[in-house]
């Protein structure tokens, strides 16, 4: 871990912090706050609707880490209370709310994964839950908060405007979401709030509310939403176009090699510290070289102890249709075999951990998603005898398990 840098000149800080930023409201305000010479309070709010993070989340986490490395304190705000409302940002319909217990359970995994990127020392990291101040608020408090903003200003938000024009209902509780998120900035006395470009409206509400409550308005910084491996939609686990923060090093390397050429500049800028000159040089050269450097840089960042050469060799072997050398092994218990010493192929898939159940294993095979020793399998009921040297099951392009007979 690099040391925290103290007393870095303001212009140098600005150059680091502005990299990759889409909206900066305003640069002059940020410069003024940095010139105070005291650590800024930098807020990122997140509703933990899902426990798993991917590189799309890492874009903003990297920006938080840059603030930390410059000596500022970042506040990881878990929206345990606002998640019960459901953020309408970018949604074409009302999002199902979660319970307080669900959001807090998700938050445990969420925070652990955030710390793969963020410094965890209390000097530069503060973790808060907005249920601390939102849950105790009474009806009179909500009325006072609602009086700070007009309906017309709330309806300026594109999500609401489009839904109303399409005749899609907008629920009253959704109109309160920007106000509750904005009030978080008041409660935390944030100097800066980070978010994706889809959060610009909400973050600007926080800036306005701080003025109403007699505070200095926060600086709003937004970063682009990372497009996923399909090259079309933003990175999302539900779309299966993501690279997970907890993916194994070899898996992360292989996925990064598949980033569409048109997105290389975006990925280099948002996920690496390579200079603009070096990025331009790579993009002007052969795409494979650029992909290789991207894959090595990002994998090394999230897996500092990983053997990058081994990850690369594994990728090359799989790309050529081969089977990597270092793959996990599972011994098949004798009680899984019938009297003839055979077992159904679908059962082997489940035993190997490639699918969670026999039913899911059958579907995988029927959908031609499995290979046995490099050959496509089509019949889940195939009777298999496991040879002494074992056999290799392959799910998709890069999940391998070697099955061995019990001795």
Question: Torsions phi, psi of 371, nearest 5?
Answer: -120, 145
Q: Is 115 annotated as a binding residue?
A: no
In a 3-state reduction of DSSP, which class is residue 404?
strand
Length in residues, the chain: 407
The secondary structure of 210-234 as a DSSP string is HHHTT-PPPEEEEEPPPB-TTSSSB
Kind of pairing, strands 329-332 and 399-405? parallel
The secondary structure of 58-71 as a DSSP string is HHHHHHHHHHHHTT
Q: Which residues contact 286 (CB under 8 A, 6 or more apart)?
A: none
**Separation of alpha carbons 35 and 29, rounded Å:** 10
Q: Which residues contact 135 (CB under 8 A, 6 or more apart)?
A: 81
What tokens does 77 get?
């705000």
CB 30 within 8 A of CB 192: yes
Kind of pairing, strands 23-25 and 219-223? antiparallel
**Separation of alpha carbons 342 and 334, rounded Å:** 10
**Separation of alpha carbons 282 and 208, rounded Å:** 43
Can you name the residues that pair with 127 across neighbouring β-strands? 76
Angle, CA 25 vertex, CA 15 and CA 221 arms, to 5°? 60
In a 3-state reduction of DSSP, which class is residue 127?
strand
Residues placed in the known binding site? 237
Question: Residues within the annotated binding site for ATP?
Answer: 237
């Amino acid at each position: 871990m690099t040391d925290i840098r103290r007393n870095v000149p303001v212009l140098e800080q600005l150059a680091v912090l502005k990299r990759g930023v889409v909206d900066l409201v305003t640069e002059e305000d940020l410069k003024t706050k940095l010139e105070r010479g005291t650590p800024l309070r930098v807020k990122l709010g997140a509703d933990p609707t899902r426990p798993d993070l991917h590189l799309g989340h890492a874009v903003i986490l990297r920006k938080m880490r840059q603030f930390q490395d410059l000596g500022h304190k970042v506040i990881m705000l878990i929206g345990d209370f606002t998640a019960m409302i459901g953020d309408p940002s970018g949604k074409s319909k009302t999002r199902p709310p979660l319970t307080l217990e669900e959001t807090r359970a998700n938050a445990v995994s969420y925070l652990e994964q955030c710390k793969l990127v963020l410094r965890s020392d209390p000097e530069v990291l503060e973790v808060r839950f907005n249920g601390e101040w939102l849950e105790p608020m009474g009806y009179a408090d909500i009325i006072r908060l609602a009086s700070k903003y007009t309906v017309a200003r709330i309806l300026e938000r594109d999500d609401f405007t489009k839904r109303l024009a399409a005749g899609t209902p907008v629920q009253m509780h959704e109109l309160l979401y920007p106000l509750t998120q904005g009030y978080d900035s008041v409660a935390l006395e944030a100097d800066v709030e980070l978010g994706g470009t889809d959060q610009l409206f909400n973050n600007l509400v926080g800036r306005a509310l701080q003025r109403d409550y007699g505070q200095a308005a926060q600086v709003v910084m937004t970063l682009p939403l990372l497009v996923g491996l399909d090259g079309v939609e933003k990175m999302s686990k539900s779309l299966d176009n993501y690279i997970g923060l907890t993916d194994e090093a070899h898996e992360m390397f292989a996925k990064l090699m598949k980033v569409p050429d048109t997105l290389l500049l975006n990925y280099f800028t948002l996920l690496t510290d390579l200079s603009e000159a070096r990025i331009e040089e790579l993009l002007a050269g052969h795409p494979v070289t650029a992909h290789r450097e991207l894959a090595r840089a990002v994998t090394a960042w999230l897996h500092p102890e990983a053997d990058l050469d081994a990850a690369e060799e594994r990728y090359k072997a799989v790309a050529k249709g081969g089977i990597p050398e270092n793959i996990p092994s599972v011994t098949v218990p004798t009680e899984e075999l019938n009297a003839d010493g055979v077992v159904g192929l679908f059962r082997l898939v489940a035993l190997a951990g490639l699918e969670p159940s026999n039913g899911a294993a059958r579907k995988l095979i029927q959908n031609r998603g499995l290979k046995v020793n490099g050959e496509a399998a089509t019949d889940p009921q195939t009777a298999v005898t496991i040879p002494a040297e074992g056999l290799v099951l392959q799910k998709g392009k890069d999940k391998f398990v070697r099955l061995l007979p019990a001795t």
